[in-house]
Amino acid sequence: MKAVVVAGGDAERGDSAHLADADLLIAADGGAQWLDDVGATPTAVVGDLDSADPRLIERLEAVGVPIERHPVDKDASDAELAVAHAVQAGADEVLILGALGGPRIDHELANLLLLTARRWRGHGLRIVRGSTSIRPLIGGERLELGGAPGDLVTLLPILGDAAGVWTEGLRCPLSGETLTAGGTRGLSNEVALQPASVRIGTGSLLVIETRKGVGS
């Protein structure tokens, strides 16, 4: 089951293409406005609703959309609560839009860190914005890379060093090496041929794929 979670950051209008095959469409607070702007109705709205238009929430309630209200003083972000809602509903693929950009860099960083939480393993978490896709890779796992030759692939260690990093099909291969936290060795690699993949022994990586000609 695929769930799309829409947070309150800077989603691109073209990101609405990801909504077409979603089984669940969950707005995290202000993400409800973006969905309304692109003509989509969420299957649920989750959050403290401090950034959602009350008139929009009333309109959604009137057509039967469940509203999962949380207090403003809470221990998780609206995006995290929305992801938890998706997982509890049975989603095994969770795509997050609106997780990047916007005025709150702290929220942006928190959303990126959210990907690495072990509680989400097996649920296919991914952040997408425009031509960029971000997925976590945690020790012992392997990811197939979907890009075409020339597409950018960045491997960023997070929460410590990432050891035993192996790649296939990339222009600058890694053969069991360690990427150190805070280092930039994994920045701006490229897909050379398919199939391409990356695997890791221990630690965590953010695997950032950007389609050719964008963000270089």
pLDDT tens-place string over residues 122-147: 888 999 999 999 999 999 999 999 88
Per-residue confidence (pLDDT) for residue 216, from 0 to 100: 41
pLDDT in tens, 149-161: 999 999 999 989 9
Domains of the chain with CATH codes: 2-130 (3.40.50.10240), 135-210 (2.60.120.320)
Classify each residue of 51-76 as buried b or exposed e, where b means 16 or more C-beta atoms within 10 Å of its C-beta: ebeeebbeebeeeebebeebeeeeee
For residue 51, name the pLDDT band (cuts at 50, 70, 90): confident
Higher pLDDT, 147 or 206: 206
Among residues 86, 90, 82, 10, the alpha carbon closest in space to that of 48 is found at 82
